[in-house]
Structure 1
Amino acid sequence: MNDPTLNIGSVLKRVRFERGLTLEETANLTGVSKAMLGQIERGESNPTISTLWKISTGLRISFSELLGSDTNRYEAISIDDLDPVYESDGKMILYNVFPFGPMAGFEYFYIQLIPGAIHVSTPHQNSTEEYIVVTKGTLVLTVEDQTFELAAPSALKFKSNKNHTYSNPYDTEVIFQNIVKY
């Protein structure tokens, strides 16, 4: 498996140089500190999903592009062959199955929540909607001040420019798909 941290750092550095941005200008755009951006570029830090969203939103690039995902693959994909991103103390495992493509206008994630997982997601300014489809377990999703208990099989769509939290307070794993439509 490839270390996604190295891909993220090289993509961040490439985008920053292509736009002629300093680390300080990039920090101002993203809300991520100059020191943290430097550590990410050098592969010295494993950024959280929230940090990645801040960077992708601030630079106006897709989450998929930041992960350095290849968008020219035309083959069957096994989730087990994808490099996961771990968040929330390793209790949230995210797989970027179908990276963003400008023609499609969305990206597709397969996500596992281990019992006890809580992931707080900041608003995604450059995305319009998220579509959640729960296929195993019960996901507790809070969007602003509304809480939804989504038992498999169930689904929900919401505007992702609001604070939202994914959690699994139960004893069984939750699996859900997340489509982010830009």
Structure 2
Amino acid sequence: MINVKNKEFISAFGGNLKKIRNEAGLSQEDLANDADIPLSQVGRIERGEVNTTISTVYVLAKALKVKITHLFEFQ
């Protein structure tokens, strides 16, 4: 990871995204298609390998049909 200030937070976000995606019954591929982002990006976010952008968080929440804040409810 490059320029990540808090690796634990990034990893926790990714783990929460994976949990929400699984609860929605979606594969990574389904989520990537619905959010119109690369499949590899979903995997990198879920593994905590990247510090994702606000615009990506927005499209992920929209694709999952949840409030953006729900993606950050892991602490």
* TM-score range normalised by the length of the shorter chain: 0.7 to 0.9
Matched with 1:23 is 28
The partner residue of 2:55 within 27, 50, 58 is 50
Q: Report the residue type matching 1:44 in the other structure.
A: E
Give the aligned length. 70
**Counterpart Cα distance in 2 of 1:44 and 1:69:** 17
When residues 28 and 69 of structure 1 are mapped into structure 2, their CA distance, relative to the original with a 3 A threshold, is same
1:7 aligns with 2:12: yes
CA shift for structure 1 position 69: 5.2
* TM-superposition CA deviations, 1:88-141 (whole Å, max 9, x none): xxxxxxxxxxxxxxxxxxxxxxxxxxxxxxxxxxxxxxxxxxxxxxxxxxxxxx
Instruction: Choose between structure 1 and 2: higher helix proportion.
Output: 2
Unmatched runs of 5 consecutive residues or more in structure 1: 71-182
**Off by >2 Å, runs of 4+ in structure 1:** 1-4
Matched with 1:32 is 37
Unmatched runs of 5 consecutive residues or more in structure 2: 1-5
> Higher relative contact order by CA 8 Å / sep ≥ 6: 1 or 2?
2
Q: Report the residue type matching 1:37 in the other structure.
A: V
Normalising by structure 1, report the TM-score: 0.36
